[in-house]
Amino acid sequence: MTQPSSFLEDPEDTSEEIMRATYVALCEHGYSDLTIQRIGEEFPKSESLLYHHYDSKDDILLNFLEFMLGQMEERLPLQDAGGADDHVERIVELTFEPGGFAGDGFARALVELRAQAAHDEAYREHFGRSDHFVRKYIEHTIRSGIEQGVFREVDPGETAALFQVAFLGAVTQGVTSDDGVLEDARVEFERYVRECLRSED
């Protein structure tokens, strides 16, 4: 849910250089037009190294997704200093802001990659674990807000599931349509947070 950072500016080793090259090529070309050769064009070392480590672009992409999940797990704060309610506000803002969590190019690529899970078990397994992490992250925030007295006594797991589905829907809608539905959805979701989640105290 956060934007990748250090490996883009300053890869620490060959593995991170490959991940950076994959990120740049994926954002530029998307899944369908991505090839190992195009990743190699962004890779500062010999393209033969890519073929030495990977058999196909999907091998690289699945490894890249694992790498990005690790980056997210390491860098995502459990709660902002302002408290759980401020943190949820930020989550809602990023959810309905075009490219809010990932940037437009990467958001488009993620939608394409997620679509592979419809028929590819390896992608399905990855996104299942990624979704579980995101859901637990939001669940922790909701539970913290209940303990702080800023949220009602809602079910944290069910509320986290609602947030997750809203996030995935917003990302998909944001990169596949220009009909402005996200603005209406944001108004209604913010009403839900204000009237159904926040404490009356």
83 and 69 within one domain:
no
171 and 126 within one domain:
yes
CATH number for 14: 1.10.10.60
Q: Could you tell me what percent of the chain has a pLDDT over 70?
A: 90
pLDDT at 22 over 60: yes
- What range defines the domain where residue 69 resides? 1-76
In sequence order, the 6+-apart residues with CB closer than 8 A to the CB of 177 are: none
140 and 67 within one domain:
no
User: Would you say 142 and 156 are in contact if contact means Cβ atoms under 8 Å apart?
Assistant: yes
Boundary (domain end) residue, out of 76, 105, 128: 76
Residue type at 146 in one-letter notation: I
User: Would you say 140 and 84 are in contact if contact means Cβ atoms under 8 Å apart?
Assistant: no
What is each CA distance from 36 to 12, 43, 44, 54, in whole angstroms?
Answer: 21, 10, 14, 9
88 and 68 within one domain:
no
Q: Pick the range with the lowest mean pLDDT from 5-19, 88-102, 109-123, 147-161.
A: 88-102
97 and 39 within one domain:
no
81 and 62 within one domain:
no
CATH number for 82: 1.10.357.10
Six token digits for residue 179 = 């009909």
What's the average model confidence in pLDDT over 137-152?
94
pLDDT at position 3: 46
Residue of higher predicted confidence among 58 and 93: 58
Q: Pick the range with the lowest mean pLDDT from 41-45, 88-92, 175-179.
A: 175-179
| Total tally of structural domains belonging to the chain | 2
pTM: 0.84
Q: How do residues 74-124 score in pLDDT, each as one tens digit?
A: 766 555 556 899 889 988 988 887 656 556 788 889 999 999 999 999 999
